[in-house]
């Protein structure tokens, strides 16, 4: 008998509050580095209904319009109406940024890292991206969900979404997709059956066709399993930079030291050393 294991990984859409916070922190990092390639940046974002709080430590030779950058990211993702509970045109932006600690800087200035830590990297030939199959499928689901939402607004999908995929392994090799969970935010409706059918037809089935070699029969599908999903984004849950570190890496199939990537310049080894570990793998 083969040794059977089931591995599960999740992904979140660009409109998930934690991932929106990550994108804002990274967009600010990009702006700071564009002004000053040697900038020291550690930016955290907290999102709640109608408010973005930007905090951290930044030393930069230049100026960045933080509020404008925040609003641009929020609107690009799709939060452009107060009916969504978060609107890039009207949300408040509170900034609490200070310079990098002089005691940290004295170590970085001589070529040291900004902190200590454990960083891991892996690669596998299961997919063309050299990523584990469960996280690759989960990411594909949320990517397709975002693409469908933007191309077909008549479907009524909204920015927030999460996916979860379980894959059966036998003797260490991926064999079949066991379960797919997809929670997709949608507009007001009383017909949850119609929502589930739309999600299945426009998101799940196209992705399963891409991974047809791992589809044996019909996987267990759970679409918006708790029912209506109208309240989402920062209105539904507070978003925070760095809370999706497993989503950002290997979906739980590799150890993680706990450090986040977003909003951190290359002197922060949470990011740069993790990238190098992946490169080496």
The answer to whether 218 and 243 are in contact (CB under 8 A) is no
DSSP letter, residue 201: I
Mean pLDDT of all residues belonging to the chain: 93
Beta bridge partners, 52, equal: 47, 93
**Residue pLDDT, tens place only, 194-245:** 999 999 999 999 999 999 999 988 899 999 999 999 999 999 999 999 999 9
Per-residue pLDDT, 102: 57
**CATH assignment at residue 102:** 3.30.300.10
Task: List Cβ neighbours of 62 (8 Å cut-off, separation of 6 or more).
Answer: 32, 35, 36, 39
Beta bridge partners, 46, equal: 53, 240
- Asked, for residue 238, whether it belongs to a domain, the answer is no
The answer to whether 24 and 45 are in contact (CB under 8 A) is yes
Number of structural domains the chain divides into? 2
The span from the CA of 187 to the CA of 5, in Å, is 38
276, 216: one domain: no
Domain that holds residue 152: 4-12+121-233
The span from the CA of 159 to the CA of 180, in Å, is 19
Q: What is the pTM of this model?
A: 0.93
Band (pLDDT 50/70/90 cuts) for residue 110 is: low
**Is a pLDDT exceeding 60 seen at residue 79?**
yes
- Asked, for residue 186, whether it belongs to a domain, the answer is yes
The span from the CA of 211 to the CA of 216, in Å, is 11
């Amino acid at each position: 008998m083969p040794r059977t294991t089931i591995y599960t990984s999740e992904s979140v859409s660009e409109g998930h509050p934690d991932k929106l916070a990550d994108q804002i922190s990274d967009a600010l990092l990009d702006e700071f580095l564009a002004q000053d390639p040697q900038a020291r940046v550690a930016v955290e974002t907290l999102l709640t209904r109608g408010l973005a709080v930007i905090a951290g430590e930044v030393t930069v030779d230049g100026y960045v319009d933080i509020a404008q950058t925040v609003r641009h990211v929020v609107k690009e993702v799709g939060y452009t109406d107060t009916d969504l509970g978060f609107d890039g045109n009207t949300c408040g932006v509170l900034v609490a940024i200070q310079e990098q600690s002089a005691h940290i800087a004295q170590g970085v200035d001589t070529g040291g890292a900004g902190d200590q830590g454990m960083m891991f990297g892996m690669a596998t030939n299961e997919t063309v991206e050299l990523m584990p199959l469960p996280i690759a499928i989960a990411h594909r689901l949320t990517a397709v969900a975002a693409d469908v939402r933007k191309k077909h607004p008549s479907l009524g999908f909204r920015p927030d979404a999460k996916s979860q995929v379980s894959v059966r392994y036998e003797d260490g090799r991926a064999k079949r997709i066991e379960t797919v969970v997809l929670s997709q935010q949608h507009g007001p409706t009383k017909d949850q059956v119609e929502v589930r059918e739309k999600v299945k037809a426009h998101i799940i089935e196209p992705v399963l066709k891409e991974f047809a070699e791992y589809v044996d029969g019909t996987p267990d599908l759970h679409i918006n399993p708790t029912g209506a999903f109208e309240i989402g984004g920062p209105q539904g849950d507070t978003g925070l930079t760095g809370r999706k570190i497993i989503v950002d890496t290997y979906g739980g199939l590799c150890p993680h030291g706990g450090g986040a990537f977003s909003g951190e310049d290359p002197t922060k080894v949470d990011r740069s050393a993790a990238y190098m570990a992946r490169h080496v793998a």
